[in-house]
């Protein structure tokens, strides 16, 4: 992300204790903001999941695949139902990408995020 002149910030609605545990378990190196009131979640229209999204066959398959590849499942925080998303905001505060998850596994690809950053003046446009 440094090469693309972009900053990453992780937002959680969990408390400080759970946030610290997550950071330790994952080795997260980016800043983390705690939004227990879910102000940002509401502002960006993040959804909550239904039982099918959390425990349906697609989710079970994805969890099993993670386990088979040696990944460890992390304990869910204080709200299993809250889904996340990804938001890319430019230096002027304009939202350039907005993605709301439909399931716990639903995320944009890193390539699509990098492409959006590059369009905003990443390495390909650094001389402009």
DSSP string spanning 29-74? -S-EEE-TT-HHHHHTT--B--HHHHHSHHHHHHHHHHHHTTPPPP
Question: For the CA atoms of 38, 104, 106, 24, what is the dihedral angle to 10 degrees?
Answer: 80
pLDDT at 20 (0 to 100)? 93
Q: At 124, is the secondary structure helix, strand, or coil? A: helix
* Model confidence pLDDT, tens digit, residues 53-101: 777 888 778 778 878 888 776 666 677 788 889 999 888 889 999 999 9
For position 128, what pLDDT does the model report?
34
Query: pLDDT band at residue 31, thresholds of 50, 70 and 90?
Result: very high
pTM above 0.85, yes or no: no
């Amino acid at each position: 992300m440094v090469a693309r002149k972009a900053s990453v910030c992780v937002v959680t609605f969990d408390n400080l204790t759970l946030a610290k545990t997550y950071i330790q378990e994952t080795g997260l190196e980016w800043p983390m903001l705690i939004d227990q009131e879910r102000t940002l979640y509401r502002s960006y229209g993040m959804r909550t999941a239904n039982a099918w999204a959390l425990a349906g066959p697609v989710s079970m398959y994805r969890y099993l695949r993670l386990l088979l590849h040696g990944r460890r499942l992390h304990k869910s925080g204080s709200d299993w139902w809250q889904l996340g998303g990804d938001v890319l905001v430019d230096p002027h505060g304009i939202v350039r990408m907005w993605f709301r998850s439909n399931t716990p596994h639903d995320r944009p690809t890193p390539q699509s995020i990098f492409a959006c950053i590059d369009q905003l003046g990443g390495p390909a446009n650094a001389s402009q």
